[in-house]
A and B are shown apart, each in its own frame.
Chain A
Amino acid sequence: MNILKNKKAIIGVSTAVVLIVAAVILMFGFEGADSNRIEGIEYAQLTYAPEVPRPITRDYPTKVIVKLEAIQVTGRLADGVQYNFWTFGGKVPGEFIRVREGDEVEFHLENSPFCNVPHSIDLHAVSGPGGGAVASQTVPGHSSVFTFKAEHAGLYIYHCATQPVPLHIANGMYGLIYVQPKKDLPKVDHEFYIMQSEFYTNGNYGDPGLQAFSLDKALAEDPTYVVFNGSVGALTGDNAIHAKVGQTVRLFVGNIGPNLTSSFHVIGVIFNKVYLFGGTNVTQKDVQTVNIPAGGAAVVEFKVDVPGTYTIVDHSIFRAFNKGAVGSLVVTGKPNKEIFSGKQQDNLFYGSDLDKQVQASNNQSVSDNSTVGNSIEDIVAAGKKVFSTTCFACHQPDAKGIAGVFPPLAGSDFLNANKDRAIEIVLHGKTGPVTVNGKQFNNTMPPQPLNDEQIASVLTYVYYSFGNSGKIVTKDEVAKIRAEKQVTLK
């Protein structure tokens, strides 16, 4: 019994020991797998805009070699417009670099022997002086190497940091580096690379030929061009990005400026998720427009449900309309009438009461500056003009009206009996039966979009003519009656 008991105890104890050891091994084992030990070596995947390198699938840090060449190229800025671009990798923006959090990045900067200035790189993903600027200072025909640890996940700008830095940036030396978090963002169907930037040229927008950099415009922060991916049209037409109905899209967006903050917007799209400033947290859901500072970035995600072309803009909208900040996302697939119907009706519209009030108000504003003379002759003359453009159509040029349809103004007892009523009818119209000179009329007169001065002068004209009673109607009288029924329009 005792032995048996002891046996059981021994078995129990050894089981516990085994479990503890296993747990310890497991713990250390996990820690080992998640350590910062660098394993292996590989070349970074680099892509030109709008492509983004495929997600990195390895789950350990490695040594990544990145090679960028600084090279100066004459290229297209817009149709018929050329510019001497300074680039990383021969295009603007420079190649998209994708590494993984914890990677050791060995960075090679080569400066083409055909360049005529030194170049360098400041990667905003680097913790260290100048983001690598001084370490990578490289004269033409040389190359430099430095190494950094990609400690901070997120989307970062890189740019040339050789003096004068603003010129190197303005000429095109920038791109994005994405330090993919250890646990990458959720899988999406498409990832795209969009970079906003400005160009300052001596000529105006669209002026043909090779355009030189304008320091004056750059200092005034008044760009000639604001573009996505380096030139006007680099993200439209054949260069548009594509997705299918029901797919998810992630945009890695950078804005290098060099001066402007972007109001990044995709027309007809609501960003389901925004990683503001290119950080790793979803900072906001359901967003229309994202601010991206110069030298900053953002990651936005959305699902496309309805086919069509979605226009990508800087919603500081003159930049889109007049300076080139336009791109296109083309979505193909079946329409979804429940989410978006398309046009359902097309009807005629003659204007509402609001329209009439707005018109009257507009005319009122105009009249504040008008200068009709003060003499009765001037007022009558002005009134005649109004009559012959407005009233005569119904009441007829001789003011005798049309029997049974439009009542006469000439020798009208109805008119002469009550001046205020006349003013009110011109202001607000009149519908229904009236008796004029013993005859019944039943019609509608719409409110007249005239200002106080015009109503005063036209009524004075009518009272002074056509055998009427010769009353004078003043602006103030009209204003008083208008005020009684005024609708304030904001």
Chain B
Amino acid sequence: MKLSALNITLLIIALTAGLLANSKSASKFLPKMILISGGYYLPLFKDDGETAKEFVKSFYLDSHPITNAEYLEFVKANSQWRKSKVKRIFADANYLREWKGDLELGKNVKANDPVCNVSWFAANAYSRWAGKRLPTVSEWEFAFSKNLIDKIEKLNSAKTFYEWTFDFNESNFQASSACGGAGSSANDPTNYAAFLRFSFRNSLKPNYCLEDLGFRCASGIHVNIHDKILSER
């Protein structure tokens, strides 16, 4: 994976935040992670000049999307992410809409349901606090194609549940989104489920907070993110 200057900056911030967070022992609230062994997968879109299949390195992925209870620990430790304090530039007015208060879920929100109405900024901050990061689109799609995260469909079976990814709007999807255009650049134009996910991701802005959108965290195969940065430099 190539790291842009921005990404390195983000990871350094993540590192710092992660170290700070570790000191507050966030880990005891964190979900179990599963090892996703690397391999090839067929991305929905092919880039010019590249082979259809893409290699995804081994990584760890949370076994389930972050729950309301887990997210509550994050806002307890990080007051700037509380409902009443968050800046609109980082999260729109729907942020944690169903929560009763800053530190109170209320009776309509189940502690073990995935947290929703969280922005990309919030999901990213949580990941850093947890010493992790958001999975990339490739990682998420790869794990999904291996049926390793099929749980997401079952958690909220009435509606499709989506998850934030680190690079949610970086694909060339938008450029080719007019009418039938997208089909011709796709590796498998009959994969309508993937089109739905890509189209959802590409309609998002990072401060959006939506009913059906949560997240889970990933980390490199080196559990220590500091090592990861060093190894990739």
Contact = CB atoms under 8 A, between A and B. Distances in A.
Interface in A105-142: 113, 116-118, 122, 129-130, 133-134, 137-142
B180 interface: yes
Contact of A117 (B160, B177, B179, B204): B160
Interface stretch (B10-18, B134-142, B205-213): B205-213
B120 interface: no
A130 B203 contact: no
A162 B200 CA distance: 9
A161 interface: yes
Interface stretch (B56-64, B69-77, B190-198, B217-225): B190-198
Interface residues of A, number: 24
Contacts of B177: 130, 133-134, 137, 161-163
Contacts of A138: 203
B159 interface: yes
B157 to A, nearest CB: 12
Given A116-B160, A117-B196, A164-B195, A137 B178 contact: no
Given A129-B178, A134-B177, A139 B204 contact: yes
Contacts of A243: none
B203 A164 contact: no
A134 B169 CA distance: 14
Given A163-B173, A163-B177, A219-B190, A117 B199 contact: yes
Contacts of A117: 160, 196, 199-200
A134 B200 contact: no
Nearest to B179: A165
B40 to A, nearest CB: 24
B192 A215 contact: yes
Contact-residue size bin, chain B (C-beta under 8 Å from the other chain): 20 to 34
Contacts of A130: 177-179
Nearest to A113: B211
B178 A162 contact: no
Interface string A127-171: 001100110011111100000000000000000011111110000
A284 B211 CA distance: 53
Contacts of B179: 122, 130, 133, 161, 165
B173 to A, nearest CB: 7
Contact of B182 (A129, A140, A164, A219): A164
B159 A116 contact: yes
Contact of B208 (A134, A139, A164, A165): A139
Contacts of A166: 180
Which applies to chain A's interface (DSSP): helix, strand, loop or mixed?
Answer: loop
A134 B181 CA distance: 13
B80 interface: no
**Which residue of A133, A137, A139, A166 has the most chain B CB atoms within 10 A of its CB atom?**
A139
B91 to A, nearest CB: 14
Contacts of B180: 165-166
B190 A141 contact: no
B174 interface: yes
A134 B174 contact: yes
B94 interface: yes
Contact of A137 (B182, B198, B203): B203
Given A117-B160, A141-B94, A164 B200 contact: no
Given A140-B211, A141-B211, 10 more contacts: A117-B199, A117-B200, A137-B203, A139-B204, A162-B199, A163-B195, A164-B196, A167-B195, A215-B190, A215-B192
Interface of B: 94, 159-160, 173-174, 177-180, 182-183, 190, 192, 195-196, 198-200, 202-204, 208, 210-212
17 contacts: A117-B160, A117-B199, A130-B177, A130-B179, A134-B177, A137-B202, A137-B203, A139-B200, A140-B212, A141-B211, A162-B199, A162-B203, A163-B177, A164-B183, A165-B182, A166-B180, A215-B192
Interface of A: 113, 116-118, 122, 129-130, 133-134, 137-142, 161-167, 215, 219
